[in-house]
Structure 1
């Protein structure tokens, strides 16, 4: 599925989150700007969204992402470290906000990547999309303040460091 990309001012939030109130859309935009600001002079993120996922597209082999950002950090030497914040559909058709720290896998069996810290907040059970997105953004901003060293994150998750492979 092709995702559109652009700065937060270009994201058609009311179209991709039609169930959100005006206050929730403003909260999502504020939270997105907080993430942009936490990137220490790197400029605004390119957010991604899919108009096709504004409504639940049905269960499938992949997770339908509605809107989000992926902050990729150069961990050096081909190593991978990324910080994710996404509004997505769960398998049962519920909207959720997911935030995660993801590292490249250096296990003996190549798993490609590992989420080493993650949260997922369901929307609609007393939590609005605005509240969930603000909580995910707050967690992401905190992670961005931590070391940008993939082995630091692997150690926290008891995964093997890069040099053991």
Structure 2
């Protein structure tokens, strides 16, 4: 489990506000629950940046189950939606590594944490990320 400790330390070091990240365990998902209409998260980190006017920028790092019962590591940046049709949020950059296919669990967690720390070093402005993804800017 040293790889998890290293990931936690790397993410904590990248936090601009100096706060430690709050990792959440879902022990009821440790055993594969079978295919679900949602993604069963085993371990997750969610760094949310709120801005005025209901805007939001979110950075995620999660260990999840795929529908086929494989572990995967997901990392993503998502923003609040300001489209004509409200989609709630959009992933503007994402990484998914399926354990055993693309990487071992330690390699996948390390890659996800590395990607998350790079994203946390970029501007903490949702419109910056929307611009990268060619999404509509926040409406006043």
What's the CA shift for 1:41? 4.2
Q: What residue number does 2:118 align with?
A: 142
Q: Does 1:37 align with 2:13?
A: yes
- Maintained 8 Å contact 1:28/1:129: no
Q: Which of 34, 40, 47 is residue 64 of structure 1 equivalent to?
A: 40
1:46-65 aligned within 5 A: 46-65=22-41
The size of the alignment, in residue pairs, is 140
User: What TM-score does the superposition give when structure 1 sets the normalisation length?
Assistant: 0.81
Structure 1 unmatched ranges of 5 or more? 1-24
TM-superposed deviation, 1:153: 0.4
Q: TM-score, normalised by structure 2?
A: 0.95
Quick check: 75-84 or 63-72, which moved more?
75-84
Q: How large is the Cα RMSD of the aligned pairs?
A: 1.3
User: Deviation of residue 163 (structure 1)?
Assistant: 2.3
Structure 1 stretches of at least 4 aligned residues deviating more than 3 Å after TM superposition: none
